[in-house]
Amino acid sequence: MLLQPASSYEELYRGFRWNVPARFNIGVEIADRWAAGEPDRIALLEYRPHGEAAGLTFGELATVSNRLASALSRRGVSRGDRVALLLPQGFEAAVSHVAIYKLGAIAVPLALLFGVEALEYRLQTAGVRAVITNENGATKLKRIAARLPQLELIASVDGDDGDVVGYERLLREGDGAFVPVETAPDDPAMMIFTSGTTGPPKGALHGHRVLIGHLPGFQFHHEFAPRPGDRMWTPADWAWAGGLLNLLLPSLYFGLPVVFGRFDRFDPEAALGLVEKTGVRNAFIPPTALRMLKAVGGIRERFKLGLRTIGSAGEALGRETYDWARAELGITINEFYGQTECNIVLSSCGALGVSRGGAIGKPSPGHRVAIIDAEGRELPAGAVGQIAVRRPDPVMFLGYWTNEAATREKFVGDWMTTGDQGVQDGDGYVTFFGRDDDVITSAGFRIGPGEIEDCLTGHPAIALAAAVGKPDVLRTEIVKAYVVLKDGFAASPALADEVKSWVRERLSAHEYPREVEFVDSMPLTTSGKVIRRIFRDRARREAAA
């Protein structure tokens, strides 16, 4: 299932074969396997701007994760239970993931950006039994704990606090000789919530095989990693599929050290400093972050970078950024594509000549991707249709948590639909063409308007709301909200700012509307649904003007 040397893309693609074992556990594969042979090998490095980087070895990762798995087990967490992670990049987040997988439980990564309403919905939907977080997350959880009857344990890396158990205390309760449970590839390992592009966010359930499914695509866009000296980093939150599955887990599988830095927000100067001082060789950087790096002048003169590969995904990269990276960084950015449900299925690989500005790339080895029509028929080159992935595929999700109807609707025959429109040219390159849903792509995040609109109409002044993406040079799109006020309320700049804060505090910092416009009426379908298309077109005209 690993990539073998080949002289061309065609040879590589045709010769690839999956080899999924009968037993596979993500935690064992990314920690214990390396600890058994090379316990002193570095797994994680914490970048510290004013001192030496702190490291965690594979031996330590294996032992500490055993202690945590043992402690969770003693507190009643067992196979199949959902354990949420509400943590920033860090040693504790990686250890917690490994422990949960070894326990046979299901990891539910959640972003610290989420407000209490967004957290409550996801924790309730998943039936989460335990949460590992920090003081920030624990403060939010205390506000909603009474409405989460299945939540029995909150552990904080910042120590004990009343009903919150300290992470270090948990480790002291555990046994470093814990024996991981045996899991099959299809046994559930993680649940990652979608952006809620069609209705409320859904929990995409993945088996342990999801890591196997990511390996060839990861190797492809990192040009046959692992190579001597490779060292990985991403600014993407490990709570998202991008940070977790595009970089953290496959890197550890290959025994590659993963660098992280504790930044509150992406700072291009600080990011370049991290890459330089820690010797990062390989990075996953979403397009918005790359555009922010473009604004830093004289990178070659000011920073000594040893980058070998950069992968990018989450939104369209664009030819301009692609050309800038070649000229300024001396690197061909390898763009790739996937979704929470089925990831890294299209990719580029400059080392094999699979690279074209403005295009995503070609199907990654092991994945069958095509452009289809509404009936599931494959379309010829040059025809616009929906990007789809054929099952079975190891990287594909098991289904949506407790939502069989939505799972069925995701497929047309054996094709998993993406909701994204694309076109494939005669050379096999796929170009993202547009969307057939209302997803908003902002700074690498796929944002569903439904959750934003629901939050907006919870404001006491708002009767109806529509959220759409407005084109933006830096972020691809920003969220813009069009709202109808209730009787007795008047539009004002102060109210617009209040509405922005309302969403930011309740959902997240990446979902709040950066623009709010008050309108007199809301166009609705006969079934009462907001016709977002009207406002989306209006926002595009505004941006063009």
> What does the H/E/C string look like for 172-219?
HHCCCCCCCCCCCCCCEEEEEECCCCCCCCCEEEEECHHHHHHHHHHH
Distance CA 365, CA 5 (A): 12
CA angle 351, 352, 354 (to 5 degrees): 105
Per residue of the chain (545 residues), what is the pLDDT tens digit?
689 888 999 999 999 999 999 999 999 999 999 999 999 999 999 999 888 889 999 999 999 999 999 999 999 999 999 999 999 999 999 999 999 999 999 999 999 989 999 999 999 999 999 999 999 999 999 999 999 999 999 999 999 988 899 999 999 999 999 999 999 999 999 999 987 655 688 999 999 999 999 999 999 999 999 999 999 999 999 999 999 999 999 999 999 999 999 887 788 899 999 999 999 999 999 887 888 888 788 899 999 999 999 999 987 787 888 988 999 999 999 999 999 999 999 999 999 999 998 899 999 999 999 999 999 999 999 998 999 999 999 999 999 999 999 999 999 999 999 998 889 999 999 998 666 667 788 888 878 787 788 789 889 999 888 999 999 999 999 999 999 999 899 999 999 999 999 999 998 888 999 999 999 998 875 445 678 889 999 999 999 98
Distance CA 376, CA 382 (A): 17
Task: Give the long-range contacts of residues 128-131, CB within 8 A, separation 24 or more.
Answer: 128/82, 128/83, 128/84, 129/76, 129/77, 129/81, 129/82, 129/83, 129/153, 130/72, 130/75, 130/77, 130/81, 130/83, 130/84, 130/154, 130/155, 131/83, 131/84, 131/85, 131/86, 131/155
Same fold? 25-183, 440-544: no
Distance CA 49, CA 425 (A): 46
Q: Which two tokens stand for residue 7?
A: 């002289």
The CATH number of the domain covering residues in 25-183: 3.40.50.12780
CB atoms within 10 A of CB 141: 23
Instruction: Quote the crossing angle between the two packed helices 135-144 and 116-126, to the nearest 10°.
Output: 70
Q: Could you give the 3-state DSSP secondary structure of residue 530?
A: strand
Burial degree of 527 (CB within 10 A; 0-12, 13-18, 19+): exposed
Residue spans of the domains in the chain: they are 1-18+208-436, 25-183, 440-544
Superfamily of domain 440-544: ANL, C-terminal domain (3.30.300.30)
The CATH number of the domain covering residues in 1-18+208-436: 3.40.50.12780
Distance CA 13, CA 24 (A): 24
Per-residue pLDDT, 527: 40
Distance CA 86, CA 239 (A): 8
Q: Are 387 and 420 in contact (CB under 8 A)?
A: yes
Stated pTM of the model? 0.86
CA angle 331, 332, 333 (to 5 degrees): 105
Per-residue pLDDT, 435: 65
Q: What are phi and psi of 402, to 5 degrees?
A: 50, 35
Q: Could you give the 3-state DSSP secondary structure of residue 379?
A: coil
